[in-house]
Structure 1
């Protein structure tokens, strides 16, 4: 199984959504929240595509990478699942390090909040990323979908109707 950054992000949000996504059950195209996040990513920094490079390595696609400064720029709608955002960019940094980039870092930008967070590679991160990858494989290899999370975040999830159809 090829683990990607979306899987790592979803691992930190909801095991059920991770499993469904991996098994090809996708609801993002019907979600106003996902559409808004996409719009924010596309319109917040209109000159970015001229300034930075899109980079694809080992199944990872980084939309905005500054090769001179070795910085990944990741745009997010809100900081509600900040841990998942950090894990996603740590996965990007792991991939960059595995491809010979010595000191990569990342900036997670929240344009609606006018905030940014710098994410640096730290000792122990390689082991964390490998553990996350193992957990993704374990969850996605299960025959049955994981149970409902019943969390506040469920209300804004693109899978909400799918998950709560019988309730």
Structure 2
């Protein structure tokens, strides 16, 4: 199985969600919150698809890549799981580097919040991303789904009903 940016983001969000997603249990299509996030991504920068390219390599897909300036544009709804977003774009930068594109950077864009964060590749990031890949692979390869860990973000998660079915 190829690791994707989604796997890396879920590693930093919830190990149970990572395992379920990797094993084909997908709940995103049932979530109004996910749908709203997709709509924000599609409508906030409507001219972007004309300016930038969608880039696919080694099983990952970067929606908006400015090849001229080597900048990944990643649009997110909120910064509630910003650590996961940073890890995801660091993984994309790692994959670009592994495919001969050096010196790229990323912009995390939160249009609803009117905020942008620059994410640069830094010394030590290669080892960090390699550790993310190893941790994600270890969780995915576990024979059983990780146990439920109650987190504040659970109520907004597309897997909420799945995880909390039968709870009082």
**TM-score, normalisation: structure 1:** 0.99
Other-structure match for 2:74: 74
Is the contact made by 2:54 and 2:65 (CA closer than 8 Å) also made in structure 1?
A: yes
Contact persistence 2:2–2:58 (CA under 8 A): no
Runs of 4+ off more than 6 Å: none
* Structure 2 counterpart of 1:9: 9
Write the deviation string for residues 100-135 of structure 1: whole angstroms up to 9, x where unpaired: 111000000000000000000000000011111001
Report the Cα offset of residue 163 of structure 1: 0.3
Aligned to 2:54: 54
Question: Does residue 95 in structure 1 map to residue 95 in structure 2?
Answer: yes
Residue matched to 1:127: 127
Q: Aligned to 1:129, what secondary structure does the other structure show?
A: helix
- Structure 2: 5+ residue stretches without partners: none
CA distance in 2, matches of 1:54, 1:66: 9
Offset, 1:59:
1.1
Deviations 1:60-115 (A, max 9, x none): 11010001100000000000000000000000000111111110000000000000
> Take 1:162 and 1:56, find their aligned partners in 2: how far apart are those partners?
31
User: Could you say what the CA RMSD is over the residues aligned between the two structures, in angstroms?
Assistant: 0.6
Give the length in aligned residue pairs.
Answer: 167
Distance 1:139 1:99 in 2: 26
Where does residue 36 of structure 1 map in the other structure?
Answer: 36
What's 2:83 paired with? 83
Q: Which runs of 5+ in 1 are unaligned?
A: none
Map of 1:21 onto structure 2: 21
Aligned to 1:117: 117
Superposition deviation, residue 6 in structure 1: 0.5
